[in-house]
Amino acid sequence: HQKELVEEKQKEILDNITYAKRIQTSRLPSQSFINENAKNNFIMFQPKDIVSGDFYWATKNHNKFYLATADCTNHGVSGSMMSMLCISILNEVVNERGILSTGDILNETRKEIIKSLNPNGNENVSDGMDCTLCAFDFENKTLEYSSANNNFYIVRNGEIINIKADKMPVGLGVRLDSFTTHKIQLQSGDVVY
């Protein structure tokens, strides 16, 4: 009887988590949206658990294609809750408030994450995300970016260029400086990872 109870509870939990995956997946940009805005791309998204603290996010605003890859604190259910919060905040900051500089976006996102998780200002909640945020201007072949703890790479003419990140999270951390906004002139054939 105990075995049957455990199996029943496990099925309920897995059914709930599987349904949560449908909700989380619905918040990720579609492959067709990415294809419309970034030619010759691929997405590798393989959650360790059914739901994930990792996510990717994209939007288009003022002729720029914004793309973020992020790793939220923790994984599984708790990480997926953080990813949902961070996706919502990114959408609000860029699409509703119209903040367009990548550094300003991460600064404002950090502020909102801290406010959401630490409303009274006296808890020491250090959850948040590591994130690379890129704004591609394909017409002018420029890439504006800001990055929190996550380096990324450009492959140009067979060489790998390591693009360094600011060493701080988008959330409460030891260091809370403003995120740096960088701009790179892209060349034909560049591949960004």
Residue 45 sits at φ, ψ, to 5 deg, of: -130, 105
Strand ranges in 73-127 using DSSP code E only, listed in sequence order: none
- Residues sharing a CB contact under 8 Å with residue 156, sequence separation 6 or more, in sequence order: 187, 189, 190, 191
Q: What one-character-per-residue DSSP string does 61-82 give? A: ETTEEEEEEEEESS-HHHHHHH
For 33-47, give one letter per residue: b (16+ CB within 10 A) or e.
ebeebeeeeeeeeeb
What is the residue-averaged pLDDT of the chain? 93
> Rounded distance, CA 100 to CA 94, Å?
6
- Residues sharing a CB contact under 8 Å with residue 97, sequence separation 6 or more, in sequence order: 108
> Rounded distance, CA 90 to CA 69, Å?
12
> Rounded distance, CA 158 to CA 11, Å?
49
Convert the pLDDT of each residue in 19-56 to its tens digit.
Answer: 999 999 999 999 999 999 998 999 999 888 899 999 99
Convert the pLDDT of each residue in 118-149 to its tens digit.
Answer: 777 666 677 899 999 999 999 999 999 999 99
3-class SS of residue 135 = strand
